[in-house]
Amino acid sequence: MQQLLSGLDHCHNRGVLHRDIKGANLLLDNNGILKIADFGLATFFNPNQKQHLTSRVVTLWYRPPELLLGATNYGASVDLWSAGCILAELLSGKPIMPGRTEVLFGYSCCDQTCRWLHYRNNAVFSACHNLNNAIIFCKSVISFITLSVRINLVHKRFRDECE
């Protein structure tokens, strides 16, 4: 994982997004040195400049929620999400979000997110059977997570200032 993250850091610092990080694109030589391969979907990016990119990148199992929802303005986070999926795969011994189609994967994403958040509301699960509802729900979950992260950061800053 350290080699993968170092390699991604190298790419991102040079303005390159790989956009297809997956196990099949990670090669190990006889000395255990990792090589990131297949830059066919790679593109240049500038984190300080808005640019519209396609959301039809990254192999489905490793595609971040924002791309599933059609985002066209993204950055290094898409590669980092994929790296996180690979880490989870290494730890669990199996893919964490396998899917054959975007519709099934969208539902699976909502289902897995509910499980990770320990959210057990049957109305939510049944609403996710409709893709439009699943997309609305995923956007809500992403907003909730983003808000939670921001609240935690504000709380940490406040706590640090009080000490």
Catalogue the active-site residues. 20
Distance CA 20, CA 50 (A): 21
Length of the chain: 163
Distance CA 150, CA 139 (A): 16
> Contact, 58 vs 83, CB < 8 A?
no
Question: Which two structure tokens, joined as six digits, stand for 3?
Answer: 């080699």
Element (H, E) at 107: helix 102-116
Distances (CA, A) of 71 to 5, 11, 15, 66, 137: 23, 21, 19, 5, 16
